[in-house]
Amino acid sequence: MFGITVDTPELRQLATYDDFDDDVVDVKGPARLSNVLVSCKVSQFINANKKKFKAVSGDDDLPQRDGFGERRRKYESRVLAGTGITTEDNNSDDNDFYKQVEKLRAAKLAAKAETYSRKSAGVSWPEETADGKRQINSQMLKNRGLTRSRNKAKRNPRKNYKLKHQKAVKNRKGQVQSIRIPTGPYGGESTGINDKISRSIRFKN
C-alpha cells in the first residue's frame, strides 16, 4: 500500500509454494509478527510526514492569550477593587466571588433607581394679573379656519402671470428655433448634430 516490503524467511518460504488455497497459514505465529511490523512502519511513516509538513506561523513565539473566562474574571476583580470591595485569592470559593458581584450589581441598580426617582421641584411662576380681557393671538386675528394652504408665489396675480409666461417661453424654445443673427461664416454646429431630430417641413397636397 505504502511501498513498504517486509522480507522474512517465512514469506520467502510461502513464495515457493504453488497451492496457497490448500494450505492453512498459522496466523498465531510469524504472520502476526509481520502484521505488527507493517503497522509500526506505517505509523512511523505517517508521523514523519506530519512532522515534515508542519506549518510554521509567525505568532508561535508570542505569549498565549488568556481565555475569555479568565479575562472576564480579571476585569471584574479590577472593578470590585475600584469600588472598595476586597477580593480573595484565586483559591477562594466561587460562591464568595459571585456574592460580591451580586452586591455590586445591586448597589448599581439602587443608585440608578435613586437617580431616576428624584422628583423635580415644581417651578413657581408669578401670577400675572392683567386688567380687562386678555389679548388674542395672530391665529385668532386671521381667523382663516379650515382654509387650505396655498403657494406663496401665486398669491400676487402679477407674479403668477409672470411665472406662467416664463414657463411658456421655455416650452416654446423646444418647439421653434429662435432667430439668431449670423456673426461670421458658417463654422459648423456648436452643439453638435442630433440625427434623431428632423426640422424639415412637409407640404400638404
Q: What pLDDT score was predicted for residue 60?
A: 67
Task: State the chain's mean pLDDT as an integer.
Answer: 75
Mean pLDDT of the 2-14 span? 62
Higher pLDDT, 135 or 46: 135
Q: How far apart are CA 107 and CA 99, in angstroms?
A: 12
Above 80 in pLDDT, residue 126? no
Percent of the chain having pLDDT more than 70?
A: 58
pLDDT band at 160 (very low <50, low <70, confident <90, very high): very high
Contacts of 83 (CB under 8 A, 6+ apart): 104, 107
Higher pLDDT, 142 or 33: 142
C-alpha count within 13 angstroms, C-beta hemisphere, residue 50? 6
Q: Where are the alpha helices (DSSP H) in the chain?
A: 9-15, 30-52, 68-82, 94-116, 138-142, 157-175
What is the pTM (predicted TM-score) of this model?
0.24
Rounded to the nearest 10 degrees, what angle do helices 94-116 and 68-82 cross at? 60
- Lowest-confidence region among 23-27, 62-66, 166-170: 23-27
Q: What pLDDT score was predicted for residue 199?
A: 80
Q: What pLDDT score was predicted for residue 46?
A: 65
Above 90 in pLDDT, residue 157? yes
